[in-house]
Structure 1
Amino acid sequence: MNYTNSPIEKITFNNNSFYIKRDDLLHKDFSGNKARKFYYFLQKDLIGIKKIVSHGSAQSNAMYSLSVLAKIKGTSFDYYVDHIASFLKDNPTGNYKYALENGMNIYEKEVPNNFEDDVLFIKEGGALNEAQFGLKILADEIKIWAEENSIKNLKVFLPSGTGTTALYLQKYLPYEVITCACVGNEEYLKKQFFQLENSNHPKILAKTKKYHFGKLYKEFYEIHLRLLEQTNIKFDLLYDSLGIKLFEEYIRNDNKTSNNYLYIHQGGIIGNESMLQRYKNKYKEL
């Protein structure tokens, strides 16, 4: 099964041309940045591990990816959340639905402080040192592609949650890595960086407007539709709509016409099921 070496395409969106690394095409069940973050555990022989435990939101991409990893490895999977919306409980969809189908046990309570030796605990969103194993492979793929195609003055962009992917890409790439904070603000993202690495951090683009993670914004849905129409590529509604918006602004304001840009598509498409339903419920005209 192919969990590495995704293709790179050149696309045009709103008259801006850039390359896109299609990590959404890695594997139908294990793709995007979570496949990269958890690649270390996929390759590792988890002898003695009977359970994988993690925590986060009830529609997390990491939650679904870990449910796939547990299924592949033949372990059980426990996941802890603060809250599951009653509507979601009654109408399972997206990452929540498919993680349950993979055998996930989900608990609405705090994560235990201690675990037995046969438990593999993975921090929310995959923000852990082991993530750099798979992300170094991603960085190497980008370097080889750029060298083989004589791509000069490359800048790499991707939106961030915990920022782990952007951080380790900057560690292993000779190009500038640029990101934006989707979950919290810029200060939150900087703190996430420092928890893993003390230096060589990616550049963070400041948001011109305050957005709350998970909240519905009609402009995000419209960007999502335009992306699909112009590129024929499905993007994630939570991260990519904001990411592409800020990426476009950056390209427009970048005075160096000799620069080349690479956008990392980090998957997360399964989560669109629940997001699209929420958008249609809120905006009846959609």
Structure 2
Amino acid sequence: MIEPQQNAFNQKINIPNNFGIEVYVKREDVLHSEISGNKFRKLKYNLLEAKKLGFTKLLTFGGAYSNHIAAVAAAGNEFGFETIGIIRGDELHDKFLQNPTLNQASKNGMQFKFVSRTQYRNKTDIDFIENLKAKFGTFYLIPEGGTNEFAVKGCQEILTETDFMFDYICCAVGTGGTIAGIINSLKPHQQAIGFPALKGDFLQNDIKKFSKNNQWKLVTNYDFGGYAKINEQLKQFMKHFFEKNLISLDPIYTSKMFFGVIDLISKGYFKPNSKIILIHTGGLQGLQSNIAEI
């Protein structure tokens, strides 16, 4: 069985406002100590599919501080798979143990192949994949960030019957798989609002591949300058939010989403007397560095 260490729960937080709005956090970050939040959701059905098909190796892709790489390595260690990480940046090959994310992934048994940024851009090409098969043998391939149909299926389990009281479901967006699963499980009165960590609006089509209803939108002006960008304002927000609520946020995804929601509440963006839930997707291993990746 592939089950979390702890069930998620909803925690009410105090966000003073003049609109009668109630705000809760869905603590997906507590699901597992290493396979954090939405990464557990995304991996669950991929691991079950890999087991069903008889695979013993998982191969995936990511950068040096990737939440996804960390989670796949931990999942392989816990659920009995060899793991291989194709890592962007060949300059890391002789110093990866100095990197907290890759060091922990290595301790969890992950084998690495470091490739140049130019090579990495070809990671979905058939020839690139075939060369990996020649080197590592047969493997179950999980895409960068983990988003595929099995990931979306897992993320459809984020919302439960206890969450149908909420009008707005807000979450950070990386590759789009998490919000796609949430969209698929919405009730008719609900709307999902995504806060992309990457600059721009290009994720619309990626999300539409997996979700057919239109009860969602992306808010694209809280990326703080782009992916992995963080400034003093955001650092102070994270610090004060923790002091007030005892909830840690990661610097790349959840902090920007939480900041955006609270700012929008103050501006009257949400309908009065509504209930909002913020999905805490984990990623706290990213606190080990000023940079974290999907």
TM class by smaller structure: 0.7 to 0.9
User: 1:12: Cα distance to partner?
Assistant: 1.6
RMSD (Å), alpha carbons: 2.7
Q: Is the 8 A contact 1:84 1:108 kept in 2?
A: yes
1:19 pairs with 24, 39, 55, which one?
A: 24
Partner of 1:182: 197
Equivalents in 2 of 1:190, 1:10: separation in Å? 30
Q: Is the 8 A contact 1:76 1:103 kept in 2?
A: yes
Q: Is the 8 A contact 1:4 1:138 kept in 2?
A: no
Equivalents in 2 of 1:156, 1:138: separation in Å? 11
Runs of at least 5 residues in structure 2 that lack an aligned partner in the other structure: none
Partner of 2:163: 146
Q: Is the 8 A contact 1:58 1:84 kept in 2?
A: no
Matched residue count:
269
1:192 pairs with 206, 209, 227, which one?
A: 206
Residue 262 of structure 1 aligns with an amino acid whose one-letter code is: I
Aligned: 1:234 with 2:245: no
Q: Could you tell me the TM-score, scaled by structure 2's length? A: 0.81
Partner of 2:237: 223
Aligned: 1:32 with 2:37: yes
Residue 34 of structure 1 aligns with an amino acid whose one-letter code is: K
Runs of at least 5 residues in structure 1 that lack an aligned partner in the other structure: 278-286
Deviations 1:240-264 (A, max 9, x none): 2211121112222235222100000
Identity of matched residues, %: 22
Deviations 1:90-118 (A, max 9, x none): 66343222111111122222343236583
Aligned: 1:121 with 2:135: no
Q: Is the 8 A contact 2:59 2:141 kept in 1?
A: yes
- Which runs of at least 4 in structure 1 moved beyond 4 Å after TM superposition? 13-17, 84-88
Residue 29 of structure 1 aligns with an amino acid whose one-letter code is: E
Residue 145 of structure 1 aligns with an amino acid whose one-letter code is: T
User: 1:3: Cα distance to partner?
Assistant: 5.1
Equivalents in 2 of 1:90, 1:208: separation in Å? 31
Residue 272 of structure 2 aligns with an amino acid whose one-letter code is: T
User: 1:214: Cα distance to partner?
Assistant: 1.4
User: 1:41: Cα distance to partner?
Assistant: 2.9
1:203 pairs with 208, 213, 217, which one?
A: 217
Partner of 1:159: 172
Q: Is the 8 A contact 1:33 1:266 kept in 2?
A: yes
Q: Could you tell me the TM-score, scaled by structure 1's length? A: 0.84
Q: Residues 47 and 129 of structure 1: is their aligned pair in 2 closer, same or farther, counting only changes over 3 Å?
A: closer
Q: Is the 8 A contact 1:236 1:267 kept in 2?
A: yes
Equivalents in 2 of 1:18, 1:158: separation in Å? 13
SS at match of 2:98: coil
2:259 pairs with 240, 245, 252, which one?
A: 245
User: 1:213: Cα distance to partner?
Assistant: 1.1
